[in-house]
Amino acid sequence: MSDRILRRRCAAFAATLATLTLAVGTAAGPAGAAPEGGLDYVAIGDSYTAGTGAGEADQPDEPTCWQSTPGYVGDVDKTGRVSLVDNAACHGALLLSGDDPLQQKISVEAQLAGLVAEDHLGASTQLVTITAGANDAGVSPVLFACATNGVEVCANAVAASEGSLGQVGAGLASAYATIHALAPNAKIAVLGYPRLFEPADGNPYFSADEQVLINRATDSLNTAIAGAVASAKAGGADAQFVDVTTRFAGHAVNSDDPWIAYDSGNPLADTNFHPNPTGHRAYATAVMTEVQPAKLAR
């Protein structure tokens, strides 16, 4: 994706979400009632938050938002420390809706609009978790290039992804700031992505050098996400970056104990390169230990 298109999309994202924020106001009334229990909790984002890899997918006949259960959001809800109001995350979500009819239903922009319309996000929201940015950074094209075209093309694809991260980071910072404006009392837990490989030879699709490049792309994306969180915090948002790379160390797709799903016989499987059930539990543990919902004031 060109820098010009990214700049236009980020500007449109900021303008659209600013309009949404003004429509509901920072003093919005309480969000829809959550079940009795802990903190009112809302989840937003892409396939990692939608639960891909955790279990059977609920895929509607029409290409709309789909999720899989039980993902990390459900695991967090089961702790009793939070009360899940809504998981609006969608497999394949970008930050922006743009002109794509599918993204107009599943993007983070669309998710936020839907949550506001349903009164599920507001002043009573106390915890928001989000994964976003990988699709905007072109993770799928990078994986495809690396799997099919050799190390030189892989390196070029990674470099192109890294070149987009300034604009992706700006879009993420706008998203976090907008969540804060819509839910001013919420802790925003921004979860990063795990490294996918423990670089080694023997994979039929990815050489050891390509695995190193893909891991580098993940690290670069996480750095951009952390920078966006810092920007949102500087603007007053109670945002926290949760890095999962150390937690997933030793559990890559080619490890003896993988926490990331990967079917080498079906390289196009939707679940590939997403947390498996154990990986989703690791994400839930990261939320509970690093964000510590029990310590967040009601």
Instruction: Give the model confidence (pLDDT) of 231-275 as tens digits.
Output: 999 999 999 999 999 999 999 999 999 999 999 888 889 999 999
Q: How many helices (H) and strands (E) does the chain have?
A: 11, 7
The pTM of the full predicted model, rounded to 2 decimals, is: 0.88
Does domain 3-25+36-290 fall into CATH 3.40.50.1110? yes
Instruction: Give the model confidence (pLDDT) of 77-119 as tens digits.
Output: 999 999 999 999 999 999 999 988 989 999 999 999 999 999 9
Q: CA 269 to CA 261: how far, in whole Å?
A: 10
Q: Residue 274's closest CA among 263, 287, 286?
A: 263
Enumerate residue ranges in the chain where pLDDT < 50: 1-10, 13, 21-35
Residue 182's CB: how many other CB atoms inside 10 A?
A: 26
Instruction: Quote the DSSP letter at residue 149.
Output: S
> What's the sign of the alpha-carbon dihedral 148, 149, 151, 156?
negative
Residue pointed to by tokens 């969608």 = 90
Query: Residue 64: its pLDDT value, please?
Result: 84
Q: CA 223 to CA 169: how far, in whole Å?
A: 9
* Domain locations along the chain: 3-25+36-290
Residue pointed to by tokens 């819509």 = 182
